[in-house]
Amino acid sequence: QSALTQPASVSGSPGQSITISCTGTSSDIGSYDLVSWYQQHPGKAPKLMIYEVSQRPSGISNRFSGSKSGSAASLTISGLRAEDEADYYCCSYVPGDILVLGGGTKLTVL
């Protein structure tokens, strides 16, 4: 199972919106609406931000949103803040109880 494809880096200024893409195949992202997104600050454990493509766990700001089209998913962060600067990873469930992660995207807030 190949890793999902994410851009290595994205950047934006405070207050702007950015979108991080996550590209897979019909065997993973395209199979079910079971994409999740994680935020990881340096030296910290990953934190769940989005599950089931677009659902936010309790306590996660509505500035974070997710979507999916075909075999690609996206994470959008609106009203960018300095504390959003982190690495972001997408993850997809694959039929047969396999989980595949993306390579990660470094978000820089300018």
Partner 1 sequence: QVQLQESGPGLVQPSGTLSLTCTVSGGSISNNNWWSWVRQPPGKGLEWIGEIYFTERTNYNTSLRSRVTVSLDTSKNQFSLNLYSVTAADTAIYYCARRGRLGESFDPWGQGTLVTVSS
Q: Point out which residues bind partner 1 (CB under 8 A).
A: 1, 3, 34, 36, 38, 45-48, 51-52, 55, 57, 89, 91, 93, 97-104
Q: Name the residue nearer to partner 1 (CB basis): 24 or 104.
A: 104
Instruction: Tell me how far, at minimum, the Cβ of 13 lies from partner 1, in Å.
Output: 26
CB of 87 to partner 1, least distance (A): 8
Residue pair 41/108 in contact (Cβ under 8 Å)? The answer is: no
Instruction: Give the pair of three-digit tokens for residue 86.
Output: 């982190």
Say how far apart CA 73 and CA 89 lie, in whole Å: 11
Phi, psi of 10 (to 5 degrees): -140, 160
Q: Which is nearer to partner 1, 31 or 78 (CB)?
A: 31
Alpha-helical (H) ranges within the chain are none
